[in-house]
Amino acid sequence: MSGRSDEPVTGDGGPEHGHGHGQEQEQGQGYEQGRRPTHTLGLLYPPAGRDHRYTGMQLAFIGGVAEAATEHGYDLLLSPSYTESEPSFQRILAERRVDGLIVMEIRRDDDRVEHLAKVGFPFVTIGRNRKAEETGWVDMDFAGLAGSCVQHLVDLGHSRIAFVNRSEQLFESGYGFAHLGLEGYTDAMTQLGLTPHAYLCDDDTASGEAVMERILRDEPATTSVVTMNEAALTGLYRGLTRHGRAVPRDFSVVGVAAGRWAERVTPQLTAAEIPAEEMSRVAVELILERLASPGSPPRHVLLKPLISLRASTGPCRPVPGSEPEPDFPDFPDIPNFPGSDF
């Protein structure tokens, strides 16, 4: 189940304020004129895994978009383009190989999005950049989910909560998922009067084990972690085992992850699932709406799945020696009377 916010844009970039969207409408309508439909949709989706390979989650999105497109009578063309300067991106536009594009792995400042909006090529995004009000998109509320994970742990008595994010490369490139998750975690911790401790982590088991080593070295009293890095889950668990921490007896883990990742570890991960199939379906619906009504305001669909309670979180059990010594009252000295035992 998920909460869904679906609304047309308002604000500075919207139809009631400024001219950005109006220009996009005019360019889009101009681009559409005289075109013969290809009955093909394009998916701009650069690999995010090691060695420029697609991750399991990315493959789930590719399959979801392909299935949804087929149901509407469209073929799918996949391009790994990460920037507007790549030949694949340029060929798609110059040769008009597709009727519209779905853009993924959105960065906060994404030149692909900027270029498509400038030339008026029909597109929507899975994810959003800094100018989200000007384009149609479907996304998850990663900030809200990270905050909910923190609150779940606090409700169980945890106060020393670390955050395991995606890789440094993705974060430094402006990857929206990584920044929104960090913002949600940091805001929640600050509002609750707790000290945030965030870590970047590559998407693999060895990196997960290494980052857990760092967490426990930096703050041995840490009793829980929120993670947005599903590919590092097995490593996080291994790192805890190596330090003699049992999940969830000694340490709780919660995060955002695909169901197959959450159920692969033991004990199974308490997590909000990324609804790849639903997001893919909505993205296809949005681009088809854009093609049918190029002058209509862009729609936004924000999903916030519920956290599925599994077996990886439990009541806080403080690390021995991590709690302050209790303050005992000072008693007056007992006088030494003759014949007493004192």
Helices (H), the chain: 20-32, 56-71, 87-94, 111-119, 142-155, 168-172, 176-191, 205-218, 233-242, 259-262, 276-292
Average pLDDT across the chain, whole number: 88
Q: How far apart are CA 295 and CA 26, in angstroms?
A: 8
Q: How far is CA 139 from the centre of its chain?
A: 9
pLDDT digits (tens, 9 = 90+) for 262-302: 999 999 999 999 999 999 999 999 999 999 999 999 999 99
Q: Edge-to-edge strands of the sheet including 252-256?
A: 197-199, 161-164, 224-227, 252-256, 270-272, 307-308
In the chain, what percentage of residues exceed pLDDT 90? 77
Structure tokens at 239: 């790192």
State the amino acid at position 225 in one-letter form.
V
- pTM for this one? 0.82
Residue 286, classified by CB atoms within 10 Å of its CB into exposed (0-12), middle (13-18) or buried (19+), is buried
CATH architecture of 40-140+277-303: 3-Layer(aba) Sandwich (3.40)
β-sheet bridge partners, residue 226: 163, 254
- pLDDT tens figures, 86-102: 999 999 999 999 999 99
Spans of all domains in the chain: 40-140+277-303, 142-273
> Which pLDDT band holds residue 15 (cuts at 50, 70, 90)?
very low
Could you please state the CATH topology (level 3) that the domain comprising 142-273 is classified under.
Answer: Rossmann fold (3.40.50)
Q: What is the pLDDT of residues 29-63, one digit of tens each?
A: 445 555 789 999 999 999 987 778 898 889 999 99
